[in-house]
Amino acid sequence: MPELPEVETIKNELAPHITGRWFTSITICDAKPLHGLSVEEFCHKLVGQRIEQLKRRGKYLIFQLSNGEVLIIHLRMTGALLLNPERTDRYTRVMFGLDDGNQLVFTDRRRLGVIWLAEEEQSVVGKLGPEPLASEFTANRFASLLQKRQAPIKAVLLDQTFVAGIGNMYADEALFLAKIRPLRKANSLSNQETRALYQAVQDVLTQAIRNKGASIDTYKRPGGENGTAHFSFRVAHRGGKPCPNCGMPIQRIPIRNRGSYFCPNCQKL
DNA sequence: CTTGGGACCTGGCTGC
DNA sequence: TGCAGCCAGGTCCCAA
């Protein structure tokens, strides 16, 4: 499930291979991901465009094109971008041919991924909150934002207009590190808890980027390799297994229809 | 404005 | 062996 660390890894590993290249052919196997554009429009507008830069914003990948427009891809749950995969399969959705003979392939088992071609980047990612690892996102800003919200802290961390890029796995991991129960109301956190959570978010995301993302489900890096961040997970996707701190079984409860994993002993109400 | 619930989408897994 | 039902969750849409 690509969250910020996974998308950051894809950007980092793809950029050296595709920056400066241009699109020579597009093959659409499934038009569903194309947002608001026909197959003909999409191919016609994209072929011939040079990739000036590859960027990430939240969980979105942004290809800056030579005509000033942007190609934006959101992988959602099961999307992947593979460089020259050995073979394609029934989950192959779009194939992008590049001028050096390389091929960038978008695959997506559950067909939830979305591809935009837009004149203005902000029309797609304009509502996103701050980048959690950017210097502007300070502990004080985090604290003042939290005070305005009374939803469960887990739900607030997942709100992309609050902060961009945190998904279900890393929200659970950060709340565990900060010893905060996911159902706690955001504005009920003490100053100490708020600072601990801020630091936990930074640590969890930074460490996961270092480990090239978490291959819990279908996440693959562009070369087809798995990430290793999931080997460090303490609670995420570990329902019933012992807490690494105290040994008590990790619980799972639904919050906003998302599985939330926590230690009932270490994470206080 | 915030909050919460359902829909989308498909495959792996479990239990009967 | 078959099949129903749960689980996975990022985002949009809608109602309160």
Please report the DSSP string for A53-85 in residue order. Answer: EEEEETTEEEEEETTS-EEEEE-TTTEEEEES-
Using DSSP's 3-state secondary structure scheme, residue A260 falls into strand
Return the pLDDT at A36. Answer: 84
- Range of the structural domain that residue A65 is part of: 4-125
- Asked, for residue A131, whether it belongs to a domain, the answer is no
Question: Does the residue A86 lie in any domain?
Answer: yes
Same domain, A144 and A121: no
Boundary residue ending a domain (A125, A148, A180): A125
Of A125, A152, A177, the domain-final residue = A125
Same domain (yes/no): A80, A42: yes
Handedness of CA A37, A11, A234, A137 (dihedral sign): negative
CA of A100 to C1' of B7 (A): 42
Confirm whether A72 is domain-assigned. yes
My answer on whether A148 and A253 are in the same domain is yes
Q: How many independent structural domains does chain A possess?
A: 2
SS3 A190: coil
CB A220 within 7 Å, strand C = no
- Whether the beta carbon of A191 falls within 7 A of nucleic chain C: the reply is no
Whether A150 and A185 share a structural domain: yes
Last residue of a domain, which of A125, A152, A170?
Answer: A125
Per-residue confidence (pLDDT) for residue A256, from 0 to 100: 87
Question: Rounded CA gap, A104 and A49, in Å?
Answer: 14
Please identify which residue in the block is written with the tokens 């900060």. A178
The reply to whether the CB atom of residue A155 sits less than 7 A from any atom in nucleic acid chain B is yes
What is the distance of C-alpha A237 from the center of its chain? Answer: 17
Residues A148 and A197 in one domain: yes
Residues A109 and A164 in one domain: no
pLDDT band of residue A1 (cuts 50, 70, 90) is confident
Claim to verify: residue A166 and residue A117 sit in the same structural domain: no
pLDDT digit string, tens, across residues A85-124: 998 999 999 999 999 999 999 999 999 999 999 999 999 9
Question: Does A89 map to a domain?
Answer: yes
For A138-180, write each residue's pLDDT tens digit: 999 999 999 999 999 999 999 999 999 999 999 999 999 999 9
Residue A209: which of A53, A10, A76 has the closest Cα?
A10
User: In terms of domains, do A227 and A192 share one?
Assistant: yes
d(CA A42, CA A40): 5
Is A84 inside any structural domain? yes
Using a 7 Å cut-off to protein CB atoms, list the covered nucleotides of chain B: 2-11
Within 123-142 of chain A, which residues have Cβ less than 7 Å from strand C? 127
What's the whole-model pTM score?
0.96
Q: What's A119's domain CATH number?
A: 3.20.190.10
